[in-house]
Amino acid sequence: MHAWTHANYAARMGARTQLSLAVTVAPLGDPAAAFVWAASQGIRGVQLSATHPGMRPRDLGASARRDLRATFTRLELVASGIDAWIPAAHFMDPANAERAIDAACAACELAGELGRVPLTIQLPRAAADSSDAPRRAEAIAAIVAAADRAGVLVADASNANDAPWPPVGISLDPAAVLADGGDPAAFASRAGARIASARVVDLLRSGMRGPVGSSGESRLDVLAYRIALEMAGFHGLPVIDARQWVDPHAGVVASAEAWGRGIGP
């Protein structure tokens, strides 16, 4: 039986979800503890990682998947999506392509079983060298077919504009947009309905990824970004993306508070 089944005790804690936000589980450590902690903070959803030990689709048999869904029910959590951070180059490398495609397709299947949630992945971008084009097309076609079978959207973190929509939409990462000199709110407005996943993360003035709303460090206009997502018709759970943060737990709490301040006094 998987480790997260010990999370049953959270039901006795009276954990109640309240915030229409999700959080990346991988930076928070052990998944079982992360689920309980997220529920205790009133966070509605958890973003799973298909490359996180113990959460890889190939590690999750039918019984483990039932246990996972039961745990979410007990904790009043939902899966907001799955991240599959497979290096994009692997999809076009003959030595790695088959394994990378299989992993992405398995993640699509799991995303379908967890409520048809989006799969976030970095698709390979078109290269100047046309010799890569057939392998790239084959990889994207396989992932698209798997997403269609599972009934899920693919949230592409590389924003490859030639991938078919649907099912391939956009993974909106404000820190990445800021790093490119862009405006996340304007990006959201342009992307509109193609936004399949939206992150809550800042690019701090130090150049590091970090929590939103940090006094003297924040570059993201949280209110403008939140309004832009709503106007774009995004109905998913924005994901507090704590990857690479110095103190993920404290940063998640601070980001949730800053996100909430974006709509009220």
Give 23's strand partners: 46, 240
Per-residue pLDDT band for 262 (boundaries 50, 70, 90) equals low
Q: How confident is the model at residue 5 (pLDDT cuts 50, 70, 90)?
A: very low
**pLDDT over 80 (residue 99):** yes
pLDDT in tens, 42-77: 999 999 999 988 899 998 999 999 999 999 999 999
What amino acid occupies position 189? Answer: S
Q: Which tokens sit at 247?
A: 């103190």
Separation of alpha carbons 69 and 77, rounded Å: 9
Q: Domain limits at 56? A: 3-261
As a whole number of angstroms, the distance between CA 170 and CA 160 comes to 9
**Spatial separation of the C-alpha atoms in residues 68 and 71, rounded to whole Å:** 5
Q: How far apart are CA 165 and CA 147, in angstroms?
A: 12
- Sign (positive/negative) of CA torsion 159, 153, 72, 69? negative
Element (H, E) at 96: none
Query: What does the pLDDT read at residue 214?
Result: 86
**Count of the separate structural domains present in the chain:** 1
Written as six digits, the tokens of 96 are 């790695």
Mean pLDDT taken over the chain: 90
Q: What is the CATH number of the domain that holds 23?
A: 3.20.20.150
pLDDT more than 70, % of the chain: 91
